[in-house]
Structure 1
């Protein structure tokens, strides 16, 4: 009996020591080195998700231009759900747990993990119902052809049927990240890409007894990926392997829900406005035809790929800013925010400039339709060089989550949406065309970056922790 009990008893001690070491590094380690160390696993996830996105786009592209156009209608909604679960409410979960850990309240961090599970399940069910019931109305309202609408609906229904698993996987990953554990979520989410690599072609084109499902198979492959990721992540948090243990005996309390939702709810508003900006621009392009919509969708998909790049730094910023805010180290929290923001802006600028200089290297991977390539090239050459503004604004939005100061982030997201909607509609009504719409999108990114940066220009006093 003792031979079995001893390893079990030793494991929690090691986990506690590892969690303490992580906390001390976030609170007192060199800012740049610590931020890069925390961001590295998330950047691995970014590369894995970029690979998954590329594979999905490649396989869907083999189905034809109409399938690509249908995926372009749905893609902003998928990214909305992913950003809401990982960066929005996920940021609220990570921020709350990081602040509790920074204040030394382990019991509260464990209780927050249970509340995070409840929130993830509730939002997952809500997204599933919203996608299945609202999808047909939305795709019809966006003005695409009936064939494109049919492809969009098949793709959308397959994905939203598994929305709960996506929310569960990202919710539990956020619990781990809030304690400073970036490695475990990175291993699980990046390892799942290998599963996606196998599942996508089998479900799309069929193999053996598995029938060819077309674009529906592409959606189901993503669901398989998130089912496996959710199962592994939930088991890890239940066992306490990552630093914060999920214990089901805690009572549900509104104060703890408020601690998460106080950051997560404003963050979701920001996610919604960000994705509505893209949906609005996509709807404005939709009447130009399937080829133009496909090309614009491929171009803007590269913009969406900047989100996981920034999230690599942003998830680390939430944990570091949150812990230092909880410990009263406000000057250090501000230094973390600007260090991460400049890193994210530099990386996204490089990606955008490369895309502007060599647009065919990206677009030619998915289609050979000349009109689609022409529209996609226009997008990348005008908007691509402004990706650095997007990286700067989005990374400081993550820093605001850690500090629980979300007001200006909401204003920034709303400003971007209003600029795209009002100026874009006016420009097209006056016959200005697609190039003017793209310039308007750049101006909207500039507003987004400036307003997110505004609260971080102040110099707070470094209040020592009581």
Structure 2
């Protein structure tokens, strides 16, 4: 057998091992193998979610620019829900990973159950607000009267189903913290495959609101699968009724880690909302539609980057729990290197092939022009996105969620938002100027996050 065949055989064996979901000890052995085993299912998990995002936009785009704008504006607001879900998920991942590293699976399950209780309470207000104020939310985002009229039901369904979104993200965070990335992958695959199948059918029969209905049904299926395996499965985590008895000290610990993480992502997503509104203001509905198509493609390629970053978070948490501080640091640096290499190829793709990519979704010349420009501008910063994500997730995985929160506030609200307004309105660059602020802010974010990771204060955090 040749060297190439031997290498290929080893890679294939590792892929099968990563997808089998067998329990692994990530606190010892080869670090590259540990990254690989965690990252492969995480990348596949998030890649299929991004496939759905692109497929969804493909079918929605056939309904016209008002439908595209509605989905884009609604998704911008839903990022607040995602932020809370990711914040709680970050806390759950950090605490569960630390307990697993300490070889305390019962304590890990208890922490995960407490995070679910907090999630349900937090979601009630969000869902009610989405149901009763959907039209006002679209108007606040700068939607035209026609967009509001056509899209209010879609927005109401999407925001009203916030609990499903929250649970899907949170429970997957619990699985990742336990090192069971394969289970997280399978649950999101169920949700995404269901979405992909139902989306064109429901859009055909129900119009734009059918896209929302398909999404809710798909994600609900994923959550049912998750809950079954948490309660009845054979993984390292086994939830029991006693784990759901309120534990005030544990709830406080979760909230202490979760609230900065939540604000961390609210800060980031809030700045995206401002930029989305600014693009709509300075370029109109066509610019907004082009931007949303570009953004969906950005999401398609950036989510695998999140997969590697999430692997770093799990490795940091488990290795700190096991007392292997140097191994935790080495895992992060190696993951950042892999991520930067991967995203450099994506950057070249966006710079060279923006037009053909956008043309898949629309042939309207104005939207095509806006979308291609947006994709090239956003694509120029992919290497910075890669490094920033790994560094931020590594700090989060250690339980140091406050540092990335302050970094996000400075880079997005004190730098990105003012720069976007300056370029778009001050310099008269309109929507293109607003989008240029994105890679500029991400470059700053990467540098600052790298600096604070190197300082090493995250090594002393107790969770």
2:241 to 235, 241, 248: 248
2:263 to 265, 269, 274: 269
Q: Any conservation in 2 of the 1:281–1:420 contact (CA below 8 Å)?
A: no
1:218 to 202, 211, 220: 211
Q: Any conservation in 2 of the 1:295–1:375 contact (CA below 8 Å)?
A: yes
Hey, what does 2:3 align to over in structure 1? none
Question: After superposition, what is the alpha-carbon deviation per residue over 1:57-114, rounded to whole angstroms, capped at 9, x for unaligned?
Answer: 01101111111111111122334433542x3221211110110111222331121122
Hey, what does 1:430 align to over in structure 2? 426
Hey, what does 2:318 align to over in structure 1? 323
Cα distance, 1:133 vs structure 2: 3.9
TM-score, normalised with respect to structure 2:
0.89
Q: Any conservation in 2 of the 1:162–1:223 contact (CA below 8 Å)?
A: yes
Matches within 5 A, 1:304-323: 304-323=299-318
Cα distance, 1:371 vs structure 2: 0.9
CA distance in 2, matches of 1:325, 1:438: 38
Q: Any conservation in 1 of the 2:54–2:300 contact (CA below 8 Å)?
A: no
Question: After superposition, what is the alpha-carbon deviation per residue over 1:223-259, rounded to whole angstroms, capped at 9, x for unaligned?
Answer: 0011111111001101242211111113321221233
Hey, what does 1:41 align to over in structure 2? 41
Hey, what does 2:220 align to over in structure 1? 227
Hey, what does 1:102 align to over in structure 2? 101
Q: Any conservation in 1 of the 2:398–2:458 contact (CA below 8 Å)?
A: no
Q: Any conservation in 1 of the 2:381–2:439 contact (CA below 8 Å)?
A: yes
2:442 to 421, 442, 445: 445
Question: After superposition, what is the alpha-carbon deviation per residue over 1:371-398, rounded to whole angstroms, capped at 9, x for unaligned?
Answer: 1111111112222120221121122211
2:367 to 347, 372, 377: 372
Q: 1:157 to 1:462 in 2, by over 3 A?
A: closer
Hey, what does 1:195 align to over in structure 2? 194
CA distance in 2, matches of 1:145, 1:106: 52
Hey, what does 1:63 align to over in structure 2? 63
SS in 1 for 2:241: coil
Hey, what does 1:257 align to over in structure 2? 251
| Worse-matched range after superposition: 196-205 or 254-263 | 254-263
CA distance in 1, matches of 2:458, 2:122: 37
Matches within 5 A, 1:53-452: 53-85=53-85, 87-206=86-205, 213-250=206-243, 251-287=245-281, 288-415=283-410, 416-434=412-430, 435-452=432-449
| Worse-matched range after superposition: 39-48 or 130-139 | 130-139
Q: 1:182 to 1:426 in 2, by over 3 A?
A: same
Q: Any conservation in 2 of the 1:176–1:243 contact (CA below 8 Å)?
A: no
Cα distance, 1:441 vs structure 2: 2.3
SS in 2 for 1:358: helix
CA distance in 2, matches of 1:333, 1:291: 47
CA distance in 1, matches of 2:268, 2:70: 20
Cα distance, 1:136 vs structure 2: 2.8
SS in 1 for 2:280: helix
Q: 1:388 to 1:224 in 2, by over 3 A?
A: same
Cα distance, 1:303 vs structure 2: 2.8
CA distance in 2, matches of 1:349, 1:263: 32
Cα distance, 1:361 vs structure 2: 2.6
Q: Any conservation in 1 of the 2:316–2:394 contact (CA below 8 Å)?
A: yes
CA distance in 2, matches of 1:142, 1:431: 23
CA distance in 1, matches of 2:340, 2:444: 15
| Worse-matched range after superposition: 65-74 or 435-444 | 435-444
Unaligned runs of 5+ in 2: 1-19
Q: Any conservation in 2 of the 1:348–1:387 contact (CA below 8 Å)?
A: yes
Cα distance, 1:346 vs structure 2: 2.6
Q: Any conservation in 2 of the 1:124–1:164 contact (CA below 8 Å)?
A: yes
TM-score, normalised with respect to structure 1:
0.88
Cα distance, 1:151 vs structure 2: 3.6
Q: Any conservation in 2 of the 1:306–1:391 contact (CA below 8 Å)?
A: no
Say what the alpha-carbon RMSD is for the aligned residues.
Answer: 2.3
Cα distance, 1:327 vs structure 2: 1.9
Cα distance, 1:199 vs structure 2: 1.2
CA distance in 2, matches of 1:222, 1:304: 17
SS in 2 for 1:122: helix
CA distance in 2, matches of 1:232, 1:19: 15
CA distance in 2, matches of 1:168, 1:242: 19
Cα distance, 1:34 vs structure 2: 0.7
Q: Any conservation in 1 of the 2:264–2:404 contact (CA below 8 Å)?
A: yes
Hey, what does 1:14 align to over in structure 2? none
SS in 2 for 1:27: coil
Q: Any conservation in 2 of the 1:328–1:462 contact (CA below 8 Å)?
A: no
